[in-house]
Structure 1
Amino acid sequence: MRIAVVNNFFPPRVGGSAHMAASLAEQYAARGHEVLAITAAYADAPADETKDGYRVVRLPAVKMPQLGLSIDFDMSFASLRPGNWRRLRKLLDEFKPDAIHLHGQFFDLSWLAGRYARRHKLPMLLTIHTLLISDNKLYGGVFRFLDTVLVNPILRYLKPRYVILDKLGVDYCVERYGTSDANSDYFPIAVDTGNFEKPLTKDVRAEHGLGDGPVIVSLGHVIPLRNRLPLVEALPSILDKHPGVKVVVVGRVYHDVFLKRAEELGVADAIIVTGAVPKADVPAYFAAADIVTHDLNGGCGTASLEAMLSGTATIASVTEDNYPGIELRNGENILLVRPDDSEAVANTVIELLDDPEKRALVAQRESAMVRANFGLDVVAEEHLRTFEKLVTEADVLR
């Protein structure tokens, strides 16, 4: 098959959506399929390159301002640059895809490539990565309005087959977009197990002067939706029992409320912020940690799953039925707390630090659970089976 993978986010930009799109593209190519990845320009990344067995084309784009929204990070839109629809159409005409894999329901490249697929009667999958939600009532209302008047009508026209990653996404898509079992597949986030089988790139404890004391790593961009406040507000209790604890926040900081709160609570000296790090360094940060916490505002994304895979005890804030068809058991193969519950975070962290044997056992079970259910090879195979089915059905209808 010839598969076009389309996502406004793509490496070297870091983030779960970017890495998942690239990892799946690499897997499609490794299995003998021809792959073209189309994305928005980013920093000084090449406009056109071949890597990992497939071609990547980055279209000129306009970077949007940051507005303090729950999903606020650097976003670029290609449709704001003249000529990109023509460029995209020419790329796809030359590539002649059998199917298109879109990533992100509110990005313009998904809309443009989806329009192409609709016109040419090509099967398309659309993976829903980020939900347009906010705890802020004003922003939440704006997001709901945008979903209603813009995103939903576009999706109704495109008629993609949806790939939904978790229960929260399922509930959201049913309510906002009217999805159902008839037009959806429930595949989990894909985690690249091979990335954690390579030698570590650095000694994180030595680099940051962490010594031998307990280390909590929180990896991922800091945005309002993942604000780190539950961890910061848990720190006074944690430090009272384990005064040597250090928290290493790894990722670009777009929302610094957690740092201001740490100053108020007198725990700022326990926090180290590294900024964004290369993907290759991520396993080294997890290896340096005794505990990983990232998704404490509700969720369990790529960073948390990679931490579990690495064999480090990881705390997240989802329900046990979060992934359709995958059995999560709190305290056995995952560690769960209620969203935004700093007291629960403190109690869980203290219990894990007090009991290294339990911490190691849970970490081992987390790793096995992720490898069996979220491994990139497993998830890629599920996607390819769906593509093959859709392409066969499309051929029959032509």
Structure 2
Amino acid sequence: MKILHVLDHSVPMHSGYSFRTLGILREQRARGWDTCHLTSLKHTREGPPEEEAEGLVFHRTPMPPGRGAGAWPLLREHALMRATEARLIEVVRKERPDILHAHSPALNAVPAVRVGRRFGLPVVYEIRAFWEDAAVSHGTARAGDWRYRLTRALETWAVRHATAVTTIAEGLRGDLLARGVPPEKVTVIPNAVDADAFRTSGRRDPDLEARLGLGGCVVLGFLGSFYGYEGLDGLLRALPDIARRRPEVRVLLVGGGPEDARLRALAADLGVADRVVFTGRVPHAEVQAYYDLVDVLVFPRARIRLTDLVTPLKPLEAMAMGKPVLASDVGGHRELIRDGATGWLFPPDDPAALAAAVDRVLADRARWPAVLEAAHAYVEGERSWRAVVARYEGVYGPLVPPSRRRPTSAAPQPADMAAEA
């Protein structure tokens, strides 16, 4: 069985999206499935038309002549889909897959559906977040405006015309069912991690600790991208209250993003700049040393549709490496964390509640070993890539006739492929 994955972007670009893709592809190959891969124009890192990264070959979509990133909205998205569709036709003829597996957004799913029809191939559409909600969270659209409604309609069209649909969270599945999508069409294949990849030394690097001024401190940490929905402003607003109760606490923010400048200004306005360490982005190979400095990882996501429907990767990574996790009680976090059992939850958008939760967790260190053990067992048992990717068998299986479940080199050619080869 050969699966052609249609992707927004991939490694060597680093993001939660590309890391999930990498986990899926590696485990699918470990199961004996053949995979090939195409990225859209949104893979903006320069490279050859076919590029090897992390031991995988990715087909890239070239920018059409005369089509730049500055095109008008709608025209830009239409051009992106047309470019993806044209490149996908080329790759299908070359790779001869059994299944097209398009990953969100709908800008990838629509070309996949059209090409699937052309070649008589089934299409799986994997939704990691709704494109319209992501646009709202990034400030490029407003909930309910014409662009939001149009994007939502495009997503719904893609879901209805795909052969099968997967989502990364129960919240996303529930939203699709409310749109009238048949329950049997939608399978949840959640986020996962490779627990072995997140082993920590358990020791702080003394030089890094000294350089950041964190010696003798209790460190609350966040490592990732600084978007508004992450709620990092709430963590800073809670810090004066936390400091009054526990003056030894410092906040370590590793990363960057659209909120970076605003967060630095807010820390100064609140009078806590001396208690917050902003490192900026750090090389991926050095991230673990920063994790080792953290006592409690805090994920204070704000409550919006995106955070209620989508489960993030970062808390799972923290649980895998044996770090205490304190997170806001939004839907995406509730699918990962059982309060007091595998981590701790607090009411979202409430700095006072966050401050009280920090005090409660730090006062309850005797319970940490049991909580951390339960969290690690949950990740290994239910959120490993081996356990999660096994669910694709139930999605792919009904789409591929037994006669085509043979070595890829012997797979028959769909009629259109043979006619056009």
Shift of 1:349: 1.3
Change over 3 Å in CA distance of 1:174–1:269 after alignment to 2: farther
**1:367-398: CA deviation from partner (whole Å, max 9, x where unpaired):** 221221111111111123422332238979x9
TM (norm. structure 2) is 0.79
- Report what 2:3 is aligned to: 3
1:161 equivalent among 141, 158, 164: 164
Please tell me the residue identity of whatever aligns with 2:112.
Answer: A
1:27–1:377 CA contact under 8 A, matched in 2: yes
Match of 1:348 among 351, 357, 362: 357
Instruction: Map 1:134-283; keep pairs closer than 5 Å.
Output: 134=136, 139-142=142-145, 144-156=148-160, 158-175=161-178, 177-197=179-199, 203=205, 205-206=209-210, 208-256=212-260, 257-283=262-288
- The answer to whether the 8 Å contact 1:35/1:54 transfers is no
Q: Which residue in 2 is equivalent to 1:50?
A: 52
Match of 2:290 among 271, 275, 285: 285
Contact 1:188 1:323 in 2 (8 A): no
Q: Distance in 2 between matches of 1:242 and 1:46?
A: 53
Report the counterpart of residue 302 of structure 2 in structure 1: 297
Q: How has the CA–CA distance of structure 1 residues 273 and 150 changed in structure 2, closer, same or farther, with 3 Å as cutoff? A: same
Letter in 1 for 2:180: G
Which residue number corresponds to residue 375 of structure 2?
Answer: 366
Whole-angstrom CA distance in 2 between matches of 1:51 and 1:310: 25
Structure number with larger C-alpha Rg: 2
Of 324, 332, 336 in structure 2, the residue corresponding to residue 313 of structure 1 is 324
What is the CA deviation profile of residues 139-198 of structure 1, one whole-angstrom value per residue up to 9, with x for unaligned ones?
Answer: 111364133443323433x324221222332233334x4334211011211212231148
Q: For the structure 1 residues 59 and 281, does the alpha-carbon distance in structure 2 shift closer, same or farther, using more than 3 Å as the test?
A: farther
More displaced 10-residue stretch of structure 1: 144-153 or 262-271: 144-153
User: Contact 1:201/1:281 (CA < 8 Å) preserved in 2?
Assistant: no
2: CA distance, partners of 1:147 / 1:265: 39
CA distance in 2, matches of 1:238, 1:35: 49
Who is 1:388 aligned against? 397
Residue 337 (str. 1) matches residue 340 (str. 2): no
Q: Secondary structure at the match of 1:93?
A: helix
Q: 1:284 to 1:179 in 2, by over 3 A?
A: farther
Q: CA deviation at 1:331?
A: 0.6
Aligned to 1:128: 127
CA distance in 2 between counterparts of 1:79 and 1:137 reads 19
Evaluate the alpha carbon distance shift between residue 22 and residue 115 of structure 1 in structure 2; reply closer, same or farther with a 3 A threshold.
farther
Q: Unpaired runs of 5+ in structure 2?
A: 71-75, 406-413, 415-421
- The answer as to whether partners of 1:117 and 1:123 remain within 8 angstroms in 2 is yes
> What code does the residue aligned with 1:221 have?
S
Partner amino acid, structure 1, of 2:185: N
Q: Which AA in structure 2 matches 1:308?
A: M
Pairwise CA distance, 1:353: 2.0
The code of the aligned residue for 1:39 comes to T
CA distance in 1, matches of 2:59, 2:44: 11
Instruction: Point out where structure 1 has 5 or more consecutive residues left out of the alignment.
Output: 66-75
What is the CA distance between 1:292 and its match in structure 2? 0.7
Q: What letter corresponds to residue 226 of structure 1 in structure 2?
A: E
- 1:296-324 deviation digits (Å, cap 9, x = unpaired): 22444101111111110112234689777
Describe the shift of the 1:351–1:362 C-alpha distance in structure 2 as closer, same or farther (beyond 3 A): same
Decide whether aligned partners of structure 1 residues 196 and 225 sit closer, same or farther in structure 2, where only a CA change above 3 A counts: same
2:93 aligned with 1:89: no
CA RMSD of aligned residues (A): 3.3
| Distance (whole Å) between structure 2 residues aligned to residue 96 and residue 23 of structure 1 | 23
Partner amino acid, structure 1, of 2:52? T
Q: Give the letter aligned to residue 296 of structure 2.
A: I
Percent of matched pairs sharing the same residue: 25
Provide the C-alpha distance between the structure 1 equivalents of 2:365 and 2:182, rounded to a whole number of angstroms.
44
Q: Distance in 1 between matches of 2:372 and 2:102?
A: 33
Give 1:46 shift: 4.8
Q: Please give the secondary structure, in 2, of the residue aligned with 1:125.
A: strand
Q: Distance in 2 between matches of 1:44 and 1:97?
A: 26
CA 1:235–1:202 in 2, change beyond 3 Å: closer, same or farther? Answer: closer
Q: CA deviation at 1:280?
A: 4.1
Corresponding residue of 2:22: 22
The amino acid of 1:27's aligned partner reads E
Over 3 Å counting, the alpha-carbon distance change for 1:125 and 1:138 in structure 2 is closer
Corresponding residue SS for 1:94: helix
* 1:307–1:314 CA contact under 8 A, matched in 2: yes
Letter in 2 for 1:115: R
Figure out how many residues of one structure are paired with residues of the other and give that number: 382
